[in-house]
A and B are shown apart, each in its own frame.
Chain A
Amino acid sequence: GENVEQHPSTLSVQEGDSAVIKCTYSDSASNYFPWYKQELGKRPQLIIDIRSNVGEKKDQRIAVTLNKTAKHFSLHITETQPEDSAVYFCAASTSGGFKTIFGAGTRLFVKA
């Protein structure tokens, strides 16, 4: 089955700097890659996603890149702000399948 690895487990940056979180997946049939943000004590919420027919997607300060050959994808947050502090999860799933498998999460601290 699918396995998703996520690095780093913890990331601390200064406000205004960029943050990058990387994930790898094992199942070459995976074609949907979402990213979720979970604030302390709250539910995970989707922030951006990408499908395998594109290599990059951007939404304001966040962007995701996908390399299907290498089976890895990354989340990029630019101009970080204290409110970006949260746990971020990458995930992978396959078309026609109903299993969205998550990475272990990255706790991001943005220092003011």
Chain B
Amino acid sequence: IAGITQAPTSQILAAGRRMTLRCTQDMRHNAMYWYRQDLGLGLRLIHYSNTAGTTGKGEVPDGYSVSRANTDDFPLTLASAVPSQTSVYFCASSEQGPGELFFGEGSRLTVL
């Protein structure tokens, strides 16, 4: 089934540890995004990528990094996790921006 795959689905992590959330799409979409979802705050954009090889900062980029080595993959890395990064993380893609976003199923991350 075409779409976006995120991994892991859920993870508990000790503060200070490094963590990479994986995101792969098979729709050949140019643009990809990472959002975090927190209760009462909606979906906040962390980083985005217009096309392979380019990335940009969203609303809340601090503490996160991304890379876009190819069209399909867009991993999100927390270099040194902190409890405030406890959240549900959604990866999304769009054929070209702006347009419909297709979301993955989310990754629930808990930082203790």
Question: Which A residues form the contact surface with B (CB < 8 A)?
Answer: 1, 6, 9, 32, 34, 36, 42-46, 49, 89, 93-105
Which B residues are CB-close (under 8 A) to A43?
Answer: 90, 103-106
Closest-by-CB residue of A relative to B4 is A43
Q: Is B43 an interface residue (CB 8 A)?
A: yes
Within 8 A of A (CB), among B39-68: 40-45, 48-50, 56, 58-59
**Cross-chain contact B97 with A49 (CB below 8 angstroms):** no
Closest-by-CB residue of A relative to B90 is A43
Q: Report the separation of the CA atoms of residues A97 and B105 in the bound assembly, to the nearest whole angstrom.
A: 25
**Cross-chain contact B50 with A98 (CB below 8 angstroms):** yes
Interface string of B17-41 (1 = CB under 8 A from A): 0000000000000010101000011
Q: Report the separation of the CA atoms of residues A101 and B99 in the bound assembly, to the nearest whole angstrom.
A: 12
Smallest distance from the beta carbon of A20 to chain B beta carbons, Å?
A: 18
Partner of B40, one of A32, A97, A99, A104: A104
Closest-by-CB residue of A relative to B57 is A99
Question: Which B residues form the contact surface with A (CB < 8 A)?
Answer: 31, 33, 35, 40-45, 48-50, 56, 58-59, 90, 97-101, 103-106
Smallest distance from the beta carbon of A41 to chain B beta carbons, Å?
A: 9
Q: List 13 A-B contacts (CB under 8 A).
A: A1-B59, A46-B101, A89-B43, A95-B98, A96-B97, A98-B56, A99-B45, A100-B45, A100-B98, A102-B35, A102-B42, A102-B45, A105-B42
Smallest distance from the beta carbon of A37 to chain B beta carbons, Å?
A: 12
Which A residues are CB-close (under 8 A) to B41?
Answer: 104
**Cross-chain contact B43 with A44 (CB below 8 angstroms):** yes
